[in-house]
Amino acid sequence: MKKIACLISNKGAGTNLQAIIDHIKTGEIDGKVVVVVSNAAGAFGLDRARKNNIPTVVFPWKPYEQTGKTRAAYSRDLAALLKRYRPDIVVFAGWILIVTKEFIKEFPVILNLHPGLIPDEPNGVVYFPNGSPAPSNKGVHTDDAIANFFKQGCAFAGSTLHVVTEDVDWGPVIERAFEKIRAGDSVDSLYSRLKKKEHGMLVKA
């Protein structure tokens, strides 16, 4: 059984975390969430964790920023916090803060779901099923990323499950998911369908 640490922010509803919890209950994921950490006290996912008796920790970036401490210092302290729980896997389940090598080097596996199509090479391109180039949405998160698919006139949207590296929103790709944009779609309707595919990628990983 793998011990899983989940990191979340306050941008979403915590559905990725909930999917992990639910699939552990059904036995589709052979694991246990040992801690949920958020940089924001109001993150909805914290409530989801507490309802399932999962330890939660709020670890904000703002005090570091206000006192002139570096992101490397924050990353190092965040890693020290997580290591107390001895996770086998760290999952960024809606985490939007950048972490540095001081964090990344401490864990063998860190996974991230990104609402964009990350290429296999840093300067590469991913193509949608219709052959058109797909935006990577680097540095763009949650609803803003989904809105960008509409802005770019895409026929599809997509997400990538990848291994976290020091390069922001890039790393070895585990799987990509595509979702066709329908007539009358909104950001919410499109994202809700895409999220189901994101959850499926998490389960398989």
Are residues 143 and 57 part of one domain? no
Are residues 147 and 59 part of one domain? no
What's the domain range around 134?
A: 114-163+177-205
Residues 6+ apart with CB under 8 A from 3: 31, 32, 34, 85, 86, 87, 88, 89
Q: How many domains does the chain have?
A: 2
Are residues 13 and 97 part of one domain? yes
> Rounded CA gap, 21 and 8, in Å?
14
Has residue 169 been placed in a domain?
Answer: no
Beta bridge partners of 173: 162
- Which H or E run contains 198? helix 187-204
Are residues 8 and 78 part of one domain? yes
**Are the CB atoms for 113 and 176 separated by under 8 Å?**
no
Q: How far is CA 205 from CA 8, 89, 153, in A?
A: 18, 11, 31
Residues of the chain with pLDDT under 50: none
Are residues 144 and 82 part of one domain? no
Last residue of a domain, one of 108, 126, 142: 108
Q: How far is CA 72 from CA 100, 147, 192, in A?
A: 6, 31, 34
Are residues 35 and 73 part of one domain? yes
In order, the DSSP letters of 41-96 are: TT-HHHHHHHHTT--EEE--SHHHHHTT--HHHHHHHHHHHHHTT--SEEEESS--
Q: What is the pLDDT of residue 122?
A: 83
> Rounded CA gap, 87 and 191, in Å?
29
Are residues 98 and 6 part of one domain? yes
Q: Which residue among 23, 114, 141, 199 is the active-site one?
A: 114
Q: What is the pLDDT of residue 90?
A: 98
Q: What is the pLDDT of residue 13?
A: 79
Has residue 171 been placed in a domain?
Answer: no
**Are the CB atoms for 10 and 59 separated by under 8 Å?**
no
Q: How far is CA 44 from CA 30, 48, 115, in A?
A: 25, 7, 19
23 labelled catalytic: no
Q: What is the pLDDT of residue 64?
A: 97
Phi, then psi, of 183 in degrees rounded to 5: -60, 135
Are residues 127 and 63 part of one domain? no
Q: How far is CA 18 from CA 13, 36, 44, 174, in A?
A: 9, 11, 11, 21
Are residues 121 and 79 part of one domain? no
Has residue 170 been placed in a domain?
Answer: no
Which pLDDT tens digit goes with each residue over 78-114? 999 999 999 999 999 989 999 999 999 999 999 999 9
Maximum alpha-carbon separation in the chain = 50
